Amino acid sequence: AFLARLEALEPMLHAFLTRTPEAALAEAEEVDRRRARGQELHPLAGIPIALKDNLCTRGVPTTAGSRILEGFRPPYHATVVERIAGAGLPVAGKTNLDEFAMGSSTENSAFGPTRNPWDLERVPGGSSGGSAAAVAAGQVPWALGSDTGGSIRQPAAYCGVVGLKPTYGRVSRFGLIAFASSLDQIGPITRDVTDAALLLELLAGKDPLDATSVGEPVPEYARELRPEARGLRIGLPVQYFGEGIARDVRERVRRAAERLASEGARVKEVSLPSVEHALACYYVIAPAEASSNLARYDGVRYGYRARPGGRPPRDVTEMFLRTRGEGFGAEVKRRIMLGTYALSAGYYDAYYLKAQKVRTLIRQAFDRAFQEVDVLVTPTTPTPAFRLGEKTDDPVEMYLNDICTVTINLAGLPAISLPCGRDGQGLPVGLQVIGRPFDETGLLQAAYAFE
């Protein structure tokens, strides 16, 4: 049923870059066979899932939305893919994204944008726009995204679904095509909080192949959910309810918090000084790390290599230059240039090092806030989904979209976006809950109370 719906809606949405219906059906049949034989099955076996196309899948094309990886078939699975395969979840395909996960709308995909299922003239958000659109449209019940500065939560908000970014280190990044390694995390996109909890259980935990993954025990997140707001201490950071956030969006989120207050939660305003610098800080650190991570795409090791158009390249340097010139899109080039500049001798202290110091101040502001409250609640995005093409000419306009989400990656915290009603035009509004490091249990519990 899911595969039929996927195929029927795909011409409208373009949520997928690669579809793998045969493999998915074979897996589903294998699960059926095992069940019939009375063999033991993982509790999640048989639930179809889609994977963002920056997750390596053995033998299956993995492009990261870029021409430069055209034709690349990884020889191995990402650790999260290994776990999904091990549990018997049929993989329906690989979803569209902004090139190398750089963007907020999927319009930076080299293979054309995805459309928002609620309004086909609008973007689904990004960079995990394909994953969020596929779940919202019922092409698959579950998907994986990655989140460097909001790429799970922002598209979840725009598409009216649930998106969870775990604490940095909670989920292995092995096999995730790196954008900004100190910010990237993989996480679930689902229709509700319980599903997010179930899927996180499968993904989380220490991985010897990722030295930044952490060995904290993984609780049974879903089993611990209670529809209970009593005693929950919620902070509303004033910085995220002011100018620049659409009134409709602010009002929805405030009203949701008031409802929980009426059910026994304690809601108060808090202040997070220094978060006003988060966007500037992120757009130094993320491009700096990206410029280093993307140095490996040289036409030698994988994917695209510039072919002699007329005359062969003079030497290997020219081959590198032409491969990168033709293989990368405009936004990726912009970030490589910004990042290379910020890291270069003489500028490193002024930009990268300074941004790292600001990052520490941001983390400290959160640590202080969490002495008084259990979770923080903000809008996920300043506005609901915008129109295709509306912001493509103005990168700074596009970056401003990330104002509520990038802060969380800088601080390494877990956060979830969940649907919070509709705006005046009927578009989904997202509410973001932010938790203490490695307290996904508390985070999911609070989100469940909001749901």
Contact 342, 288 (CB under 8 A): yes
Rounded alpha-carbon distances, angstroms, from residue 397 to 86, 104, 401: 42, 10, 7
CB neighbour list of residue 139: distance below 8 Å, 6 or more residues apart? 2, 5, 6, 9, 10, 13, 15, 16, 50, 92, 133
Q: 127 an active-site residue? A: yes
For residue 206, indicate whether it is catalytic. no
Q: Does 294 bind ligand GLN (CB under 6 A)?
A: no
Contact partners, residue 366, CB within 8 Å, separation at least 6: 272, 376, 411, 413, 434
Q: Does 114 participate in binding ligand GLN (rule CB under 6 A)?
A: no
| Residue 93 touches ligand GLN, criterion: CB under 6 A | no
> Does residue 20 contact residue 92 with C-beta atoms inside 8 Å?
yes
Q: Of the two residues 57 and 401, which places its CB atom closer to ligand GLN in the complex? A: 401
Phi and psi at residue 250, to the nearest 5°: -55, -45
Q: Which is nearer to ligand GLN, 127 or 172 (CB)?
A: 127
- Which pair of structure tokens corresponds to residue 59? 């033998």
Q: Which two tokens stand for residue 103?
A: 């963007």
- By beta-carbon proximity to ligand GLN, the closer residue of 319 and 388 is 388
Choice between 95 and 323, CB closer to ligand GLN: 95
298 lines the binding site for ligand GLN (CB under 6 A): no
Q: Which is nearer to ligand GLN, 144 or 267 (CB)?
A: 144
Q: How far is the CB of 158 from ligand GLN (least distance, A)?
A: 12
Please indicate whether residue 131 is annotated as part of the active site: no
Interface pick for ligand GLN out of 111, 179, 297, 352 (rule CB under 6 A)? 179
Stretch of residues binding ligand GLN (CB under 6 A), selected from 44-52, 147-155, 247-255, 304-312:
147-155
Q: Tokens 């005693």, residue?
A: 231
Nearest-angstrom CA–CA distance, 416 and 376? 11
Contacting residues for 383 by C-beta, under 8 A, at least 6 apart: 246, 249, 401
Residues 340, 385: Cα–Cα separation, whole Å: 32
Quick one: which of 101, 159, 171, 288 contacts ligand GLN (CB under 6 A)?
101
Token code pair at residue 446: 């609070």
Position with the least CB separation from ligand GLN:
151
Residue from 140, 286, 362, 403 binding ligand GLN (CB under 6 A): 286
State the catalytic residue, choosing from 66, 104, 109, 127. 127
Contacts of 259 (CB under 8 A, 6+ apart): none
Cβ closest to ligand GLN, residue 323 vs residue 405 = 405
Based on the shown chain and the rule CB under 6 A, indicate whether residue 104 belongs to the binding site for ligand GLN: yes
Region from 146-154, 169-177, 215-223, 304-312 binding ligand GLN, contact rule CB under 6 A: 146-154
Give one DSSP letter per residue of 111-144, joined into a string.
T----BTTBTTB---SSSHHHHHHHHTTS-SEEE
Residues numbered 221 to 260 that lie near ligand GLN (CB under 6 A) are none
Contact residue for ligand GLN among 107, 195, 207, 402 (CB under 6 A)? 402
- Indicate whether 158 belongs to the interface with ligand GLN (CB under 6 A): no
Residue 376: what residue type?
A: L
Site for ligand GLN in 337-396 (CB under 6 A): none
Binding string to ligand GLN for residues 47 to 86, with x set by CB under 6 A, is what? Answer: ----------------------------------------
Among residues 110 and 260, whose Cβ is nearest to ligand GLN? 110
Kindly report each contact of residues 204-208 with a partner whose C-beta sits within 8 Å and lies 24 or more positions away, as own/partner.
Answer: 204/166, 204/170, 204/171, 204/440, 205/171, 205/172, 206/172, 207/79, 207/172, 207/174
Nearer to ligand GLN, 28 or 101 (CB): 101
The distance of closest approach from Cβ of residue 276 to ligand GLN in the complex, given in angstroms and rounded to an integer, is 18
Range in contact with ligand GLN (rule: CB under 6 A) among 1-9, 143-151, 297-305, 364-372: 143-151
The answer to whether 147 contacts ligand GLN (rule: CB under 6 A) is yes
- Give the containing element (helix H, strand E) for 51: strand 49-52
Closest CA to 245 of 434, 451, 430: 430
Residues found near ligand GLN in the complex (CB under 6 A): 101-104, 127, 147-151, 179, 286, 402
Give catalytic residues, as residue numbers: 52, 127, 151
